[in-house]
Structure 1
Amino acid sequence: MEKCKNLWSAFYRHKVVQFLISQWFFITLAVFIVLANFFPNFARHGGTIRAEYSIGYGAVAAIFLQSGLSMKTRKLCYNLGNWRAHTSVLTISFLVTSSIMFGLCCAIQKANDPAIDSWVLMGLIVTATCPTTVASNVVMTQKAGGNDLLCLCEVFIGNVLGAFVTPALVQMYTSMGLFEFGNPAAGTSISHLYADVMKQIGLSVFIPLFVGQVLQNVFPKQVSWVLTTFKLNKVGSFCLILIMWSSFSTAFYQRAFRSVSHACIIFVVFFNLGLYLFYTVICYIWARPWFLQKIFHQKPREGSSTFYNLCYRIFQPFYCSKKDSIAIMFCGAAKTAALGVSLVSSQYGSDSPHLGKLLVPLVLYQSEQVMTANLLVPFLKRWASDECEDEDTSKDQDLESGGLSSRQDRPDSHHDSTDSSSEIK
């Protein structure tokens, strides 16, 4: 018996085994994508397990229930008032990303490359008009030590507005010009689309979050014990894999990857990857514009002019903390597939002959953004570590005292010296 334990211990400590364990997310995701390919009907929307409900609602609800159990109510309300961050994320998510995508797709369309399908380009434009993803950015922001409360606020606001903004942007980009053929002219379906989005956001985001907040405030000691004992922070990553499994199953069932050439799919893969990284860089520059630190390099003093005092109060808070910047980077560049499939099918019809081609960019973008974000997590976590040290210490104290910490009664005030004025007081 002792020999078996030693063999198992040696096997477990082996470098290869440790590497495979550290990469469990990608390995599990690959397995589920293979399953989606061979058994697409099982986890597709409307399939065997009715994934639009069991996964689209259940898995997403599990992520936000865990968020509600672990997030302080006071801080959540505080971040809802961060209008500067909301403005930044919504502007990038809807206007900046879609306009860049539209310009690039117009250039590609004018090149008349027969290997690039025009409806796939239309799918890229529709993908860029979609709101931020529902679950993956919250999970990645938590893993990177960013402001997950702010991220959660962006998810709710962005997806509610997406029911109105996404169809309007698609109409704007397809009203005339090179992509007029892709105009869905779906004004009659917008009310139905809005009802679907509100139902999904309400049942999978708002209610689980509300329940988590109630349980956290009524039973703080028990909630703290459950969070630490069952390691619920790991649940989000697995639920994220289930969401991607459902999206791939739907795409495979629709024969999305068979309706276009291999060259076109390879193009979309690398195009999406480059765009996601480019959008992330834009989000970083937008969240931490270097010129603000040059202009407002010191706080107003007694001898400072009224104009400087006024400009400092208005513009300096747009230079976000590192934790807020992580949330903005993950939210601004991400696009939803959980709601995106509904947005596309509601506008073009579930029986459209081009639906598969329209879904190819969306499904690929979701998987690539999750994998790329997962690779960026350790770098961003290291970058923001100086802002996370004090909060981690406070969280440990909260757990030891049953969650009854004085920090529950005030917003997070830890920032480095250069970012101390970046949040709303």
Structure 2
Amino acid sequence: MGEASGLQTVAAPVAEAPTARNSRLKTYLKLVWDLICEHWFILGLCFAIGFAAAVPNFGRKGGWIAAQWTIKYGAVIIIFLLSGLSLKTRALFTVMARLHVHLFIQFICLVLTPAIGYGFARAMMESSTMNRDLANGLVVAMTMPTTISTNVVFTKQSGGNEPVALVNAVLGNIIGIFVSPAWLYLYLGKSGQAPYADVIKQMAITIIAPLIVGQIVQYIFPNPVKKAQEKVNFGKIGNLMIILLVWNTFCDTFHRKIHLEAKSWVPMLFLEIGLFLLFSAMCLTLATFVPFKRVFGFDKPDAVAVLMCGSTKTLALGMPLITVLYGKHSSIGVISLPLIIYHASQCLIGSLYIKQLKKWVDGPQPGAWPASSWHTGDLGDTGPGKVVRNEGNRNSDSSGSPSSSPVPLRSTEPIAPVAVDTPQATGSLVRRELAGSDVERGESAALVVGGDSASRASVSRGSVGSKRGTA
């Protein structure tokens, strides 16, 4: 009995219920699926490059699917047909008249970036470890005009001024036919006639004609087009077309079997990524620089269009021009590599800009980027219950162009504030960053000064009539 009383009963482990394991597996699968859905474009680009390396004959020019027609023409036609279906005709014509904006973008893309690129190329030529053909290819890449399709798609998805991007895509490639060969003759001493007729013909077929057709269809069948926009995500279709274009580009690249040492092309890869980041920062800084904003009338959507158009380079003119200038050169594949690398970089990195740019465009209107607070100016006689209202610099219509109606900078009429206790001393100013797009549309943001033991902050949304306060 003693021994029996000393024994302890140990419960057998209970197997985990199958339903619990299935539930956990479903949770993990859902998490993976959500990540894929969120980053599908970048994953698609990576897959396209890998697939092109594995089977280059599939999507190359003259390959299994005749990609020089089905993709090079077909994908671009679809992109601009969708733009024609979604853009308002009045907004498009309004943007065309903003010549100062177009001149600003073309100056960055066809004057400023080529000069900077040539400076880096000259530094490469002085290095004994760098390939001279790669340096020449960098000059060719940097003298190209803005890309035709990527800038339009990314500008739209970032909340930018799509008509501005579209007009500059067309304008830049027309001007680039003449300007790019001139820069190459000046920088490299290479002379050759750009394929003017071929480029203009390609632009007429792939850009202008689909755009006009889309506008006509939108005018004749407005309701069906509107329903189609609600049911079909035009933006994702545009992204899919860009993936196909990148795939076609890398199929051609891998088919050429370019042989180059890693010590040459790896530094070029990082250099061009750095150049794209530099040009992006330069474009956004110039577009949000207060003196330029006042002269050119830029707003946030315009700044996004400047970034996307000013920092990107096209393959559509670059590859034919390289063929004309270096067609008999044994290293034509090496010379074309910098343009291909830059094109891939602008697609991959540009897609990462979209989410942050969209947040910025939808955020508070104050000009400099990023805007952490409002400038309040001289408070003057602002007693308790009075407000200092700092509004957006200007209103904008749906096309992104400035309206002619002036916006008052200050107002001192009393409003009913929402009281929020804060530890600020009496008479201090509570500065608050407003998240939302109401201020950008010209609606007022009110800052209340005064109080016995605390400052009060409120936001007045004039057109909506709602008020919200925070500490």
| Residue 343 (structure 1) aligned with residue 311 (structure 2) | no
Q: Counterpart of 1:334?
A: 312
Note if contact 1:288-1:318 (Cα within 8 Å) is conserved in structure 2: no
3-state SS of paired residue (1:338): helix
Structure 1 portions without partners, runs of 5+: 176-182, 294-315, 389-408
Note if contact 2:42-2:351 (Cα within 8 Å) is conserved in structure 1: no
CA RMSD, 1 decimal: 2.5
Q: Counterpart of 2:167?
A: 153
3-state SS of paired residue (2:298): coil
> How many corresponding residue pairs?
358
Note if contact 1:387-1:414 (Cα within 8 Å) is conserved in structure 2: no
- 2-side partners of 1:159 and 1:32: how far apart? 26
AA matched with 2:332:
L
Q: Counterpart of 1:101?
A: 117
- 2-side partners of 1:12 and 1:157: how far apart? 49
Q: CA deviation at 1:50?
A: 2.2
Q: CA deviation at 1:41?
A: 2.0
Could you say if the C-alpha distance between residues 142 and 354 of structure 1 is closer, same or farther in structure 2, counting changes exceeding 3 Å? same
**How does 1:123-202 map onto structure 2 within 5 Å?**
123-175=137-189, 183=190, 185-187=191-193, 190=194, 193-202=195-204
Give deviations 1:77-96, integer Å, cap 9, x for gaps.
Answer: 11111111111111111111
Q: Counterpart of 2:243?
A: 241
Structure 2 portions without partners, runs of 5+: 1-18, 366-396, 410-439, 443-471
Identity in percent? 32
| Residue 268 (structure 1) aligned with residue 268 (structure 2) | yes
**How does 1:210-289 map onto structure 2 within 5 Å?**
210-256=212-258, 258=259, 260-289=260-289
Note if contact 1:130-1:166 (Cα within 8 Å) is conserved in structure 2: yes
Could you say if the C-alpha distance between residues 13 and 148 of structure 1 is closer, same or farther in structure 2, counting changes exceeding 3 Å? farther
Aligned match for 2:360, one of 374, 383, 386: 383
- 1-side partners of 2:144 and 2:106: how far apart? 11
Q: Counterpart of 1:303?
A: none
Q: Normalised by the size of structure 1, how large is the TM-score?
A: 0.79
Give deviations 1:169-217, integer Å, cap 9, x for gaps.
Answer: 1111012xxxxxxx2x324xx3xx1111101110010000000000011
Note if contact 2:45-2:348 (Cα within 8 Å) is conserved in structure 1: no
Instruction: Name which one, 1 or 2, has greater alpha-carbon Rg.
Output: 2
Q: Counterpart of 1:30?
A: 46
Q: Counterpart of 1:359?
A: 336
3-state SS of paired residue (2:315): coil
- 2-side partners of 1:413 and 1:369: how far apart? 27
* Runs of 4 or more consecutive aligned structure 1 residues displaced over 6 Å after TM superposition: 6-9, 414-421
Note if contact 2:286-2:292 (Cα within 8 Å) is conserved in structure 1: no
Aligned match for 1:321, one of 296, 299, 307: 299
3-state SS of paired residue (2:146): coil
Could you say if the C-alpha distance between residues 211 and 354 of structure 1 is closer, same or farther in structure 2, counting changes exceeding 3 Å? same
Q: CA deviation at 1:31?
A: 1.5
Bigger mean CA offset, 321-330 vs 41-50: 41-50
Note if contact 1:322-1:387 (Cα within 8 Å) is conserved in structure 2: no
3-state SS of paired residue (1:14): helix
Note if contact 1:68-1:210 (Cα within 8 Å) is conserved in structure 2: yes
Aligned match for 1:120, one of 112, 124, 134: 134
- 2-side partners of 1:268 and 1:410: how far apart? 41
AA matched with 1:265:
W
Could you say if the C-alpha distance between residues 12 and 340 of structure 1 is closer, same or farther in structure 2, counting changes exceeding 3 Å? farther
Give deviations 1:206-236, integer Å, cap 9, x for gaps.
Answer: 0000000000111100111112112222100
AA matched with 2:61:
H
Q: CA deviation at 1:420?
A: 9.3
Give deviations 1:310-342, integer Å, cap 9, x for gaps.
Answer: xxxxxx242410000100101000001233222
